[in-house]
């Protein structure tokens, strides 16, 4: 997330930075929940 955020800002503009940061934070928080859930389904 820290590495690609400047690239996202450069390509999409500064308005996309909060959306990108929020999306990355939510996905990072959901990984510990979703990985075991999907692992249990298989």
Largest distance between two CA atoms of the chain = 40
The two three-digit tokens of residue 31, written as one number: 């990984």
How many angstroms separate the CA atoms of 9 and 34, rounded? 28
Name the pTM for this structure: 0.72
Q: Under DSSP, is residue 1 helix (H, G, I), strand (E, B) or coil?
A: coil
pLDDT digits (tens, 9 = 90+) for 2-34: 788 999 999 999 999 999 999 999 999 999 999
DSSP state of 14: T
Q: Under DSSP, is residue 15 helix (H, G, I), strand (E, B) or coil?
A: coil
How would residue 42 be classed by pLDDT, with cut points 50, 70 and 90? confident
The confidence score (pLDDT) of residue 1 equals 62
30 or 42, higher pLDDT? 30
Judge whether 8 and 20 are in contact, CB under 8 Å.
yes
């Amino acid at each position: 997330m820290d590495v690609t955020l400047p690239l996202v800002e450069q390509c999409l503009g500064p308005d996309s930075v909060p959306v990108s940061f929020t999306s990355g934070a939510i996905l990072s928080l959901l990984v510990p929940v979703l990985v075991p859930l999907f692992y249990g389904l298989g």
